[in-house]
A and B are shown apart, each in its own frame.
Chain A
Amino acid sequence: MAMTTEAPAIDTYTGRRGIWAWITTVDHKRIGLLYGVTALVFFVVGGMEALLIRLQLAGPNLELLSAAQYNQLFTMHGLTMVFLVIMPIAAAFTNYFLPILLGARDVAFPRLNAFSYWLFLGAGLLIYSSFFLGGAPDGAWVGYAPLSTQLTEVVRMDFWIIGLQLLGIASIASSANFIATAFTMRAPGMTMMRMPVFAWMALVVAFLLIFSLPAVSIGLFQMFLDRNLGSLFYEAQAGGDPLLWQHLFWIFGHPEVYVLVLPAMGIVSEILPTFSRKPLFGYPFVVFSGASIGLVGFGVWSHHMFTSGMGPIAEAGFGIATMIIAVPTGVKIFNWMGTIWGGRVRLRTPMLFSIGFIAMFVIGGLSGVTHAIIPADTQQHDTYYVVAHFHYVLFGGAVFGYVAGVYYWFPKWTGRMLDEGLGKLHFWLMLIGFNLTFAPMHILGLNGMPRRTYRYGEGLGWDFWNLAATVGAFTIALSILLFIINIIKSRRGGEPAGDDPWDGRTLEWSIPSPPPVHNFDEVPVVRGLDDFWYRKYGEDDEGRLLALETAEAEAVPQRDEEPEDIHMPDPSYYPFVTSFGLVVAGFGLVYLGVGGWIAVGVGMMTALWGFFGWSLEPVTREH
């Protein structure tokens, strides 16, 4: 069973083809692809916003954008990249691969999964519709009160509140789903400590979201009441407290950073062993350092508030916690280097991006430690130094990791390889462009340039590095263009991949590319970590890699028999209906008033209809 170039015949198992099949799908792979494609579209949009920002700042006192336009663009850039790009791209990978890596046929709650996606998409569209309805949110993605509650007659920040609330519901639903999947859907023999690191990180992230999102949901709810119904939670003159919002936001917001980056760390932890032909160095250390990053991540939120006036005792505590979190992060980096050490390192595109991830993340991690030096942070806070830091974590880190994941798993999605030449060009252009954009921002910040400023004067010594950053941003844009061309070109015309193009270690490589709807003809029985690898390879007396002769026969599951007796859940349009209703109600809440309340009523009725239909329909129709 060498090459599988054609889509398997059972791909249309769900019945209908075309757009209706996508709207009603409950297949975790299709939902994963929907998340991925949507995230890529938003990535392009958020990137355009970044380019406009960089053009405006290319020199002193430029007038390409007005202050009002600039403030909307940087707010939407941050909002888009965090909530509509990196979170959903992580959700895309988790959706597609969590069940397969665990040897399952789907997630625990397939229709809840579809609901999460449609609600995410609806919330994203709701936020973006504000551009056509009088203007986008302009209070920064953190929306600090009381700036965000100041002008209640302008509904921009209501779009932000409602959009984030809906995204939060979608995230909580999918997190519950992933937790249930990891705990209940594992194949026989797949113990927790045999789960691939990516599955572990997905699990940690799901817990982070479940525990952190409620804090910001409460904060947003209070903000909505302040803006629309006259409550005074954040109104200092009435005894409210503006800093309450910052605490609630960052109790969510800091774990959120790990939500964004841990799945990328998981992906890199899959790629490095595969391309080094060695097991991950210290699997338990990597898993538990990831989990402890998640845990300690709940105790560092106030390091975003070192200038807010908490007092030195509280600041010292959060500073020390921030130092502590650097330790498990460092452990991961050393373990990855230990994985490479002594291997036979194949420098294919996924590996290049993974190495790029480590190299750039080290920089972001080290500049993070400089933030924990609280006196120094009072200079760095809210400057371009911070902008540089978190782009090294979220772009140099997370985005490099996710791009590595795309190059790694594209063959599994499509049955075709991405072009290596274009991929390598993409890597080098992105690496150079990224550093040209964000390295100078360290210097700008230390030289006093605050973030979120639409212009700066002459004679401040910022001109050269700003221009460099702008050139870098367009270099990144060029590299992303190559990436998209590569995806479009290779989807149909790429080299056929076969089931196991990278000589992989984990279960997804044991099934066809693209996988059939039910993933596994026979649910695998797992005997250890990297089970699929050890069906192909053993170790000789010196511990060196040894190919097993029986590998071929054992590796590939039997695929000749028709999977007659596998029952996958039927497609359902109710998740879409429910999400649609909630988004309509969301619009009503933005435009609260008679019309708004009607929309809330209609939307909630629609959502209820969806919930009931969903609860009452059978999982599979009678055959």
Chain B
Amino acid sequence: MRTGSQVRRTDKKRPFALHPGRRLAAIAGLALLLAACSGSGPQTSLEPAGRIADDINNLWLLVFWVATAVFVIVEAGLVYAVWKFRERKDDDRRPRQVHGNNAIEITWTIVPAVLLAVITVPMLSGLFEMRKVPTGDVLQINVTGHQWWWEFEYVDETGPDGRSIVTANELHIPADRDVYLSMTSADVIHSFWVPALNGKRDVVPGRITNLTLSAFAPTPDGQPHLGQCAEFCGLAHADMRVKAFVHDEAGFDQWVAAQLEPNTAVGAGWDTFTTFCTACHQVTVEDADGVRTVGPERVIDVDGERTFRSSLAPNLSHFGSRTSIAGATFANDVAHLSAFIDDPSSLKPMTPERNDIAAGIILGMPDYGLDSDEIAGVVALVQSWE
């Protein structure tokens, strides 16, 4: 242990120097702490990508550092007190019997109270700021929560037939323009949450709740902001996810224009599709008879305040343009989609045996026992709807 003694000698010269091993450990620990505290991943709340999320994060950072300071002071004080006054061997100290000290106690009642009062000011102003209804050029979107998928209706973006764009689980929004969500639920309580764009907001049946999303910049190709339902909503709560694609102005207009084009109802899969799928799914198509929408329509009217155009299952118009299926849980490719149609509950846990379409209760996609040709036909058809 020659190196050890050398180190000890250097330690004497510099009382605060650390043993190289310990220094390494300290650096590693610090790096770990920094890594832990910095945000990571596409669903983090610590890398805000919009005005509101940024305001929230700044408030969080403020209280985080205040709390960290209090934490360090209190824990250090505790450890110091225990260490300093610990009983040693043959310790015969007779402690002074202090019963209390009003001045000190009043001080440590008032100081935290003042500290909290100071934090309360930015908290309140931040709260009222983030709850403001956005004004100006605002994109209005209706959101309906379903067990276990999200439905988005672009109320202002209507086609020649007067119908608005309805899509599911993948939200497309413009950058630099506030998006105002009006949300309700078709069944139980959900909570809409895309951390990079704002905090979460519960989605409650019989009520309208609102959330403003704002994004600084378009998301890179293939890297949307991720989110998911945050209020426990039953069996497949974990698989009720959402992707938020942010476009620049031109890109968003382009997306809207594409969504307003009707799909073409051709191919071998169409008969199978209309026999089984349109019992719940809606799609707008164009064929020899013109443009028409097939599948059940459900209108959710909340207290006469607002109507949500909805369906029993995700609207499949332009399904081919989506990147994911089954509540944004699996990639939208032939393998996953075929497996999903073949046995839906094996990919995503659902209980279609409890469906009651007449009562509007849909708890999953049934396995209709389609053969592989039929499945291939349907997959080819819906994926062709770009």
CA distance A373 to B135 in the complex (A): 25
B224 close to chain A: CB less than 8 A: no
Cβ contact within 8 Å between A278 and B98: yes
Chain A contacts for B201, CB-based, 8 A:
307, 309, 378
CA distance A459 to B93 in the complex (A): 59
Chain A contacts for B74, CB-based, 8 A:
333, 337, 362
B81 close to chain A: CB less than 8 A: yes
Given A147, A239, A366, A370, which contacts B60 in the complex, CB threshold below 8 Å? Answer: A370
Which residue from chain B places its CB closest to the CB of A335 in the assembled complex?
Answer: B105
B338 close to chain A: CB less than 8 A: no
CA distance A539 to B94 in the complex (A): 9
Which B131-154 residues have C-beta < 8 A from chain A? 131
Chain A contacts for B56, CB-based, 8 A:
375-376, 378-379
Beyond A146-B187, A315-B127, A447-B39, whether A67 also contacts B238 by CB under 8 A is: yes
CA distance A316 to B55 in the complex (A): 17
CA distance A425 to B27 in the complex (A): 29
> Which of A3-11, A407-415, A540-548, A579-587 interfaces with chain B?
A540-548
Chain B contacts for A344, CB-based, 8 A:
85, 87, 91, 93-95
B10 close to chain A: CB less than 8 A: no
B3 close to chain A: CB less than 8 A: no
Shortest A289–chain B CB gap in Å is 8
CA distance A312 to B104 in the complex (A): 37
Chain B contacts for A461, CB-based, 8 A:
40-42, 44
B171 close to chain A: CB less than 8 A: no
CA distance A469 to B216 in the complex (A): 35
Which residue from chain A places its CB closest to the CB of B208 in the assembled complex?
Answer: A309
Shortest B313–chain A CB gap in Å is 18
B329 close to chain A: CB less than 8 A: yes
Chain B contacts for A323, CB-based, 8 A:
116-117, 119-120
Cβ contact within 8 Å between B85 and A459: no
CA distance A455 to B127 in the complex (A): 32
Which A149-196 residues have C-beta < 8 A from chain B? 150-151
Cβ contact within 8 Å between A144 and B231: yes
Which A412-456 residues have C-beta < 8 A from chain B? 440, 443, 446-456
Shortest A79–chain B CB gap in Å is 14
Given A347, A462, A543, which contacts B98 in the complex, CB threshold below 8 Å? Answer: A543
CA distance A282 to B99 in the complex (A): 6
Beyond A315-B127, A382-B230, whether A370 also contacts B67 by CB under 8 A is: yes
CA distance A337 to B83 in the complex (A): 12
Cβ contact within 8 Å between A331 and B105: yes
B315 close to chain A: CB less than 8 A: no
- Give B105-136 as 1s and 0s: 1 = Cβ < 8 Å from A's Cβ atoms: 10011001100110110011011101100000
Chain B contacts for A67, CB-based, 8 A:
235-236, 238, 349
CA distance A453 to B233 in the complex (A): 10
Cβ contact within 8 Å between A144 and B189: yes
Cβ contact within 8 Å between B109 and A327: yes
Chain B contacts for A570, CB-based, 8 A:
none
B82 close to chain A: CB less than 8 A: yes
Cβ contact within 8 Å between B127 and A71: no
Cβ contact within 8 Å between A539 and B97: yes
A598 close to chain B: CB less than 8 A: no
CA distance A493 to B58 in the complex (A): 58
B323 close to chain A: CB less than 8 A: no
- Give A297-310 as 1s and 0s: 1 = Cβ < 8 Å from B's Cβ atoms: 00000000001110
Cβ contact within 8 Å between A276 and B195: no
Total number of residue pairs linking A and B with CB closer than 8 Å: 298
B295 close to chain A: CB less than 8 A: no
CA distance A72 to B234 in the complex (A): 11
Given A277, A358, A446, A465, which contacts B45 in the complex, CB threshold below 8 Å? Answer: A446
Chain A contacts for B354, CB-based, 8 A:
151
Cβ contact within 8 Å between A446 and B46: yes
Cβ contact within 8 Å between A316 and B44: no
Chain B contacts for A358, CB-based, 8 A:
78
Given B41, B60, B99, which contacts A279 in the complex, CB threshold below 8 Å? Answer: B99
B164 close to chain A: CB less than 8 A: no
Beyond A147-B189, A378-B198, A543-B96, whether A312 also contacts B128 by CB under 8 A is: yes
Which residue from chain A places its CB closest to the CB of B127 in the assembled complex?
Answer: A374
Chain B contacts for A370, CB-based, 8 A:
60, 63-64, 67
Which residue from chain B places its CB closest to the CB of A333 in the assembled complex?
Answer: B74
- Give B324-339 as 1s and 0s: 1 = Cβ < 8 Å from A's Cβ atoms: 0000010000000000
Cβ contact within 8 Å between A337 and B200: no
A355 close to chain B: CB less than 8 A: yes
B193 close to chain A: CB less than 8 A: yes
Cβ contact within 8 Å between B67 and A276: no
Which B39-88 residues have C-beta < 8 A from chain A? 39-46, 55-56, 59-60, 63-64, 67, 70-71, 74-75, 77-79, 81-82, 85-87
CA distance A328 to B112 in the complex (A): 10
Q: Give the 10 A-B residue pairs with the shortest CB-CB distance, closest first.
A: A378-B199, A236-B206, A461-B41, A448-B43, A453-B238, A282-B100, A67-B349, A309-B209, A236-B205, A461-B40
28 contacts between A and B (CB under 8 A): A146-B188, A146-B189, A147-B232, A150-B188, A236-B206, A237-B206, A242-B188, A242-B204, A277-B95, A279-B98, A307-B199, A316-B128, A319-B120, A331-B105, A335-B100, A345-B85, A362-B71, A362-B78, A373-B126, A375-B59, A376-B56, A376-B199, A379-B200, A382-B191, A446-B46, A450-B228, A460-B43, A543-B97
Beyond known contacts A344-B85, A544-B95: 5 more, CB 8 A cutoff: A237-B205, A281-B99, A282-B102, A340-B78, A378-B201
